[in-house]
Amino acid sequence: MKQELNTLEETVSGDYKYGFVTDIETDVIPRGLNEEVIRMLSEKKNEPSWMLDWRLKAYRHWLTMEEPKWPNVNYPEIDYQDISYYAAPKNKGKLKGLDEVDPELLRTFEKLGISLNEQKRLSGVAVDVVVDSISVATSFKKQLADIGIIFCSISEAIQKHPELVRKYMGSIVPATDNFFAALNSAVFTDGSFCYIPKGVRCPMELSTYFRINTGNSGQFERTLIIAEEGSYVSYLEGCTAPQRDENQLHAAVVELIAMRKAEIKYSTVQNWYPGDHNGKGGIYNFVTKRGLCLGDYSRISWTQVETGSAITWKYPSVILKGDHSVGEFYSVALTNHYQQADTGTKMIHLGKNTKSRIVAKGISAGYSQNSYRGLVRAGKNAAGARNYSQCDSLLLSDHCGAHTFPYIEVKNATSVVEHEATTSKIGEDQLFYCKQRGIDAETAVALIVNGFAKEVMNQLPMEFAIEAKKLLAVSLEGSVG
Amino acid sequence: MLSITNIHASIEGKQILNGINLSIQAGEIHAIMGPNGSGKSTLAAVLAGREQYEVTEGAVTFLQKDLLEMSPEDRAREGVFLAFQYPVEIPGVSTTNFIKAAVNEKRKYRGEEPLDAVSFMKLMKEKMAMLRIDQSLLSRSINEGFSGGEKKRNEIFQMAMLEPKLMILDEMDSGLDIDALRIVANGINKLRNENNAILIITHYQRLLDYLQPDFVHVLYNGRIVRSGTKELAMELEENGYDFIKEEANLITAE
């Protein structure tokens, strides 16, 4: 039995496939953070003065704030002066098309399984690619523009669509919202911007691929998606980073707004470098994601598959302001080795007859700690609000931890809130049963884990569901005890 | 096909099997009977390669290969199938997906391509019809919430899909009423042919009314103390195990 445990522990050692560094010329500003750095950054991006003012205001507020200590995670203090806040692949002049992208960079993305070449791409997916601090390419822009959809980097949006950016940026996650959101507001460098006009159903998946390449740099991206009345968009983000011994900070902000009868489906496959088997290195993923169902009958749905990062701290939330609006959160968080995740959601019911659904699946292996933290709040006026939450944990070793912190606040008499939770462990009996059918331990664990996560995986767009399924298997490679 | 020589096995230091010898040829049905605690299920577990059991002495050859050298999954891929006394529930994994994984692992082991979805479904349909298995059973999570009878039928269905060489049935009749028993036994009879063999492990004789064994062995204190034909099972049914015990104790005393 002991021996069995060891073999299983050994098979845990799935190696991170995306840990390489691309050797490209990079424009990096010196480490450190002060107003001068922010000015320099804003200037490099040729930003209008209102943007710089907004950043400085955020920075000044950030200085007054303290890093949150309530999450169930442990890490040494971050030295914010030891991070470079801007790193960008160097370019000669402005890019006119994908042909002008540095071939080394194109090869990087081929290696990651993402072809930027539109002919070779999966049909029906438009991609924006962000390396370190800047967006390097966006595909299918023209086709989308023909039906009025704007899909570009946030930097481009600041230049070309300032009225939209000024109106909505910070309206859902204010610059003062929390420590990391304030930091992001001060130093965000790039991200994606999507605008779906009234009545338009976006005909393809929009996706952004984030890649941290440069060492000692942080990635602070900002994404803003606006869905006008009766529109629909499905958006997906993916992320990877090289394998490094030091920790790197990723502090993103994502804001979504859905008008009347609009629907936004936001999916994340997060695979930042998780650190090595002893917990050395890895990305600190401190992210604020929030959607606002502003109009009646609007719908926002978050789906996340979190397998990477040394530490994950994120709570994609929905504010259900419009009457009859719907918020959903589907999550699979997998932690292995010494990874720590404190993740969940907030569903804030403000409008009448609003509905929310939470399905969170935590998988813990190795020595990892996996926490679900969720808040369901029904306000005074949220008559008839309904929530259903389900939190399931699957333990794959004797050393890992699974924790659930559900918070429920109901301020009216007609709301119905349901919470269900289960914890299970893959047992020796289950594994032996599989083996007796010719299925080895590794395949058996993948089968069981995918079965456990199925309800969430089914929410992902098809092409990505297959990828995500493989990712779960790779991240575990048989970690049972 | 299977040759067991002087097998001794223990669990957590406790000796259970004390020198078992048994030889099974293709096309044969053998039944192992014996009182509770005689080591019947241990023998099944040892053949399947359950890690908790330690084989301290002896050898097992299966189709000219050293069975004890093989991992449990390789034994299965070589054609050893154990129908469990208590089939395990695996929530979230549909019976269809589970069987598909098992079938394809076996094919991979043999250097064959995995079955495509169409061929797999065709095979499923064929075996479902043969064993009168209901479609709804297969879309449910494996064994989860199955009744005793459903679990056993599911074991037989998996057996049909994997077409093993050696089928070990551990207490197949436990927890089954007479109708369910008949259905399960009929299923097993349909899977019989001259190229495979069946090892039935049972406490009672009643399963043997449906599956006619060629040989019956009585296990007591980790040893086969008597071997015979179907008549031996009848005798046990009539007289119980006591006379065997007395006989065996007498021999040990000498």
Q: To the nearest whole angstrom, how far is the Cα of B28 from the nearest Cα of chain A?
A: 22
Confidence at residue A398, expressed as pLDDT on a 0 to 100 scale = 86
Residue A341 one-letter amino acid: A
Lowest mean pLDDT among A106-115, A219-228, B1-10: A106-115
The Cα A329–Cα A360 span in angstroms is 8
The Cα A259–Cα B54 span in angstroms is 66
Q: Out of A18-27, A125-134, A189-198, B244-253, give the one with best mean pLDDT.
A: A189-198
The Cα A216–Cα A212 span in angstroms is 10
For residue B104, pLDDT over 60 is answered with yes
ipTM of the modeled complex: 0.95
The Cα B139–Cα B93 span in angstroms is 9
**Which residue in the set B50, B91, B101 is minimally distant from A439, CB to CB?**
B101
Cβ contacts of residue B128 below 8 Å, gap of 6+?
B134, B135, B138, B157
Confidence at residue B203, expressed as pLDDT on a 0 to 100 scale = 84
Cβ contacts of residue A322 below 8 Å, gap of 6+?
A260, A293, A294, A295, A296, A297, A298, A351, A354
The Cα B197–Cα B211 span in angstroms is 12
Cβ contacts of residue A388 below 8 Å, gap of 6+?
A356, A357, A358, A418
For residue B38, pLDDT over 70 is answered with yes
Lowest mean pLDDT among A88-102, A159-173, A270-284: A88-102
* DSSP, res B24: E
Q: To the nearest whole angstrom, how far is the Cα of A272 from the nearest Cα of chain B?
A: 27
CB B101 to CB A452 under 8 A?
A: no
For residue A228, pLDDT over 90 is answered with yes
Lowest mean pLDDT among A356-360, A450-454, B19-23: A450-454
Confidence at residue A179, expressed as pLDDT on a 0 to 100 scale = 94
Do residues B94 and B142 lie in contact, with contact meaning Cβ atoms separated by under 8 Å?
yes
* DSSP, res B207: G
For residue A91, pLDDT over 60 is answered with no
Put simply, whether B76 touches A (Cβ < 8 Å) is yes
CB A3 to CB B51 under 8 A?
A: yes
For CA atoms B42, A445, A448, A395, give the dihedral sign: positive
Indicate whether A481 belongs to any domain: no
Contacts of A427 in chain B (CB under 8 A): 88
C-alpha distance from residue B242 to each of B17, B34, B98, B201, B224 (Å) = 20, 10, 43, 19, 15
The Cα B159–Cα B121 span in angstroms is 16
The Cα B70–Cα A345 span in angstroms is 48
Number of folded domains in chain A? 1
Confidence at residue A481, expressed as pLDDT on a 0 to 100 scale = 43
Do residues A288 and A262 lie in contact, with contact meaning Cβ atoms separated by under 8 Å?
no
Confidence at residue B207, expressed as pLDDT on a 0 to 100 scale = 86
Contacts of A454 in chain B (CB under 8 A): 92
Please give the share of chain B, as a percent, with pLDDT higher than 90: 70
Strands of B102-171 (E only): list them: 141-142, 166-170
What is the CA B9 to chain-centroid distance, rounded? 18
More confident residue, A247 or A264: A264
Confidence at residue A451, expressed as pLDDT on a 0 to 100 scale = 87
For residue A110, pLDDT over 70 is answered with no
Residue B189 one-letter amino acid: N
Put simply, whether B72 touches A (Cβ < 8 Å) is yes
Do residues B60 and B5 lie in contact, with contact meaning Cβ atoms separated by under 8 Å?
yes
**Which residue in the set A424, A439, A452 is minimally distant from B105, CB to CB?**
A439
Contacts of A446 in chain B (CB under 8 A): none
More confident residue, B201 or B137: B201
Q: Give the pLDDT mean for A83-95.
A: 66
The Cα B76–Cα A438 span in angstroms is 5
Kindly report, residue by residue over A302-313, the tens digit of the pLDDT.
999 888 888 999
Unique residue bearing structure tokens 């029906």 = A124
Could you give the angle at which helices B148-162 and B178-191 cross, rounded to 10 degrees? 0
More confident residue, B139 or B2: B2
Confidence at residue B130, expressed as pLDDT on a 0 to 100 scale = 86
Tell me which residue of A306, A308, A314, A206 sits closest to A251, measured CA to CA. Answer: A314
**Which residue in the set B82, B93, B97 is minimally distant from A436, CB to CB?**
B82
CATH of the domain at B236: 3.40.50.300
The Cα A250–Cα A217 span in angstroms is 9
For residue A454, pLDDT over 90 is answered with no
Q: Give the pLDDT mean for B101-124.
A: 94
Residue A376 one-letter amino acid: V
Contacts of B98 in chain A (CB under 8 A): 434, 437, 439, 447
Give residue ranges of A with CB < 8 Å to any B CB.
Answer: 1, 3-4, 424, 427-430, 432-440, 443, 447-448, 450-452, 454
Confidence at residue A14, expressed as pLDDT on a 0 to 100 scale = 54
Confidence at residue A121, expressed as pLDDT on a 0 to 100 scale = 45
Confidence tier at A120 by pLDDT (50, 70, 90): very low
Unique residue bearing structure tokens 């071997």 = B227
Residue A464 one-letter amino acid: F
Kindly report, residue by residue over B175-207, the tens digit of the pLDDT.
788 888 888 899 899 999 999 999 999 988 888
The Cα A124–Cα A144 span in angstroms is 11
A contact test, residue of B46, B51, B94, B146 with most A CBs within 10 A = B51
Contacts of A433 in chain B (CB under 8 A): 84, 87-88, 90
Do residues A451 and B90 lie in contact, with contact meaning Cβ atoms separated by under 8 Å?
yes
For residue A350, pLDDT over 90 is answered with yes
Q: Give the pLDDT mean for A98-127.
A: 56
Q: Give the pLDDT mean for B111-118.
A: 93
SS3 category, B94? strand
Q: Give the pLDDT mean for A320-331.
A: 97
The Cα A186–Cα A33 span in angstroms is 10
Please give the share of chain A, as a percent, with pLDDT higher than 90: 48
**What is the SS3 string spanning chain A?**
CHHHHHHHHHHCCCCCCCCCCCCCCEEECCCCCCHHHHHHHHHHCCCCHHHHHHHHHHHHHHHCCCCCCCCCCCCCCCCHHHCECCEEECCCCCCCCHHHCCHHHHHHHHHCCCCCCCCCCCCCEEEEEEECCEEEEECCHHHHHHCCCEEEEHHHHHHHCHHHHHHHCCCCCCCCCCHHHHHHHHHCCECEEEEECCCCECCCEEEEEEECCCCCECECEEEEEEECCCCEEEEEEEEECCCCCCEEEECCEEEEEECCCCEEEEEEEECCCCCCCCCCCEEEEEEEEEEEECCCCCEEEEEEEECCCCEEEECCEEEECCCCCEEEEEEEEEECCCCEEEEEEEEEECCCCCEEEEEEEEEECCCCEEEEEEEEEECCCCCCCEEEEEEEEEECCCCCEEEEEEEEEECCCCCEEEEEEEEEECCHHHHHHHHHCCCCHHHHHHHHHHHHHHHHHCCCCHHHHHHHHHHHHHHHCCCCC
Confidence at residue A466, expressed as pLDDT on a 0 to 100 scale = 75
Unique residue bearing structure tokens 């507001």 = A185
For residue A122, pLDDT over 50 is answered with no
Lowest mean pLDDT among A167-181, A374-388, A437-451, B77-91: A437-451
Confidence tier at A196 by pLDDT (50, 70, 90): very high
Contacts of A428 in chain B (CB under 8 A): 51
SS3 category, B32? strand
Give me the domain span that covers residue B89.
Answer: 2-253
Number of folded domains in chain B? 1
CA angle A305, A145, A130 (to 5 degrees): 40
Confidence at residue B154, expressed as pLDDT on a 0 to 100 scale = 93
pLDDT, averaged across chain A: 84
Residue A113 CB neighbour total at 10 angstroms: 12
CA angle B157, B161, B166 (to 5 degrees): 90
Give me the domain span that covers residue A365.
Answer: 2-476
Cβ contacts of residue A221 below 8 Å, gap of 6+?
A130, A154, A188, A189, A190, A191, A192, A210, A252, A253
Kindly report, residue by residue over A153-173, the tens digit of the pLDDT.
898 999 999 999 999 999 999
The Cα A394–Cα A455 span in angstroms is 14
For residue A383, pLDDT over 90 is answered with yes
